[in-house]
């Protein structure tokens, strides 16, 4: 094991230990997935939060403290027909709530990339620093915004299909606006994210939706319509990077409480889309699963995700299984 690998291992093990000792809330996530173009991946995430609070959906037993500390460890292993890599990330976060309606969060950490040592590339890219600042504001019961700016890895926003892992580096800026109206029967949400990726690549992401609630908590059914665009200023072979992509179609989100502790949920959308002003197609995304437990105590859920699109009679499918576990201490 080389020195960089050893440093990463010690770094990650210490982060898990600190999380377990210091957290009021522990959460973990494991996922496995594959695509029809023979790309496979495994995800693992472990985080611990001291003085856990949720500004938009308060816990019944959440901390009275206005400040919170969080440690988060994330790892991905991914391989394809001509590449393989391991990615590890450790982030620490401090957040503070002002006037009960505004939450400012500061995040700092590092990430590490190991490429396949059999390839003709450097086996280790070394540790790289990352940071982020975000401001979550609730202006009324029905309106909130979330604005952030950061520098780090974009592995959770782009899906690599090639070997040049330097494309992971990015400067990110984003904003989300959500508003509920008509006595909360209708809700609209708008999200915009700008990425400045390595190699002078720029990415614009926009998503908007209007949803109507048919049922209310603890059961709910929300149906509506969404519009989505994602544009790059240049094409790259290392990940999907359309120069001009837009999609629109119906969306649904539903949840049903089977008993005091068991919940079934389903969400998804169907889209018609156009890419690079040439190809047109259709596709869908769905996620379904079961959740067991009580939010303020313990929850465990298992879900299945599937994403499929068809262009020129050619189908692409990505699917994954995800397990989540949260525990209040």
Write the pLDDT tens digit of every residue in 177-193. Answer: 988 876 678 899 999 99
Write the pLDDT tens digit of every residue in 199-255. Answer: 788 999 999 999 998 877 778 899 999 999 999 998 887 888 888 999 999 999 999
Q: CA–CA separation, 145 vs 62, rounded Å?
A: 22
CATH code at 55-69+91-110+120-318: 2.40.160.10
Write the pLDDT tens digit of every residue in 4-35. Answer: 443 344 344 444 433 333 348 999 999 999 99
Write the pLDDT tens digit of every residue in 120-169. Answer: 444 445 788 999 999 999 998 889 999 999 999 888 888 888 766 666 77
Q: Please report the pLDDT score of residue 167 as a whole number.
A: 61
In a 3-state reduction of DSSP, which class is residue 39? coil
């Amino acid at each position: 094991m080389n020195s960089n690998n050893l440093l990463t291992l010690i770094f990650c093990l210490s982060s898990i230990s600190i999380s377990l000792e210091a957290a009021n809330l522990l959460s973990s996530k494991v996922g496995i997935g594959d695509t029809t173009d023979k790309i496979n991946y495994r995800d693992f995430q472990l985080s611990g939060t001291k003085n856990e609070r949720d500004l938009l959906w308060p816990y019944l037993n959440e901390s009275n403290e206005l400040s919170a500390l969080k440690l988060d460890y994330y790892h991905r292993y991914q391989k394809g027909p001509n590449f393989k890599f391991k990615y590890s990330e450790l982030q620490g976060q401090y957040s503070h709530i002002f006037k009960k309606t505004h939450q400012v969060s500061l995040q700092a950490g590092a990430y590490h990339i190991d490429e396949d040592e059999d390839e003709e590339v450097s086996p280790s890219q070394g540790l790289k620093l990352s940071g982020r600042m975000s401001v979550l504001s609730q202006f009324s019961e029905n309106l909130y915004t979330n604005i952030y700016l950061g520098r780090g890895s974009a592995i959770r926003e782009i899906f690599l299909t090639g070997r040049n892992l330097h494309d992971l580096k990015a400067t990110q800026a984003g904003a989300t606006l959500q508003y509920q109206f008509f006595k909360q029967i209708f809700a609209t949400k708008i999200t915009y994210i700008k990425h400045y990726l390595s190699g002078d690549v720029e990415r614009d992401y926009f998503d908007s939706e209007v949803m109507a609630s048919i049922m209310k908590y603890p059961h709910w059914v929300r149906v509506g319509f969404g519009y989505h665009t994602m544009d790059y200023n240049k094409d790259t072979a290392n990940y999907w990077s359309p120069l001009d992509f837009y999609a629109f179609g119906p969306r649904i989100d539903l949840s049903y409480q089977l008993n005091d502790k068991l919940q079934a949920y389903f969400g998804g959308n169907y889209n018609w889309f156009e890419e690079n002003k040439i190809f047109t197609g259709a596709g869908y995304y769905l996620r379904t699963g079961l959740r067991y437990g009580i939010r303020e105590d313990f929850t465990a859920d298992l879900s299945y995700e599937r994403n499929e699109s068809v262009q020129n009679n050619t189908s692409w499918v990505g699917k994954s299984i995800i397990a989540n576990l949260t525990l209040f201490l």
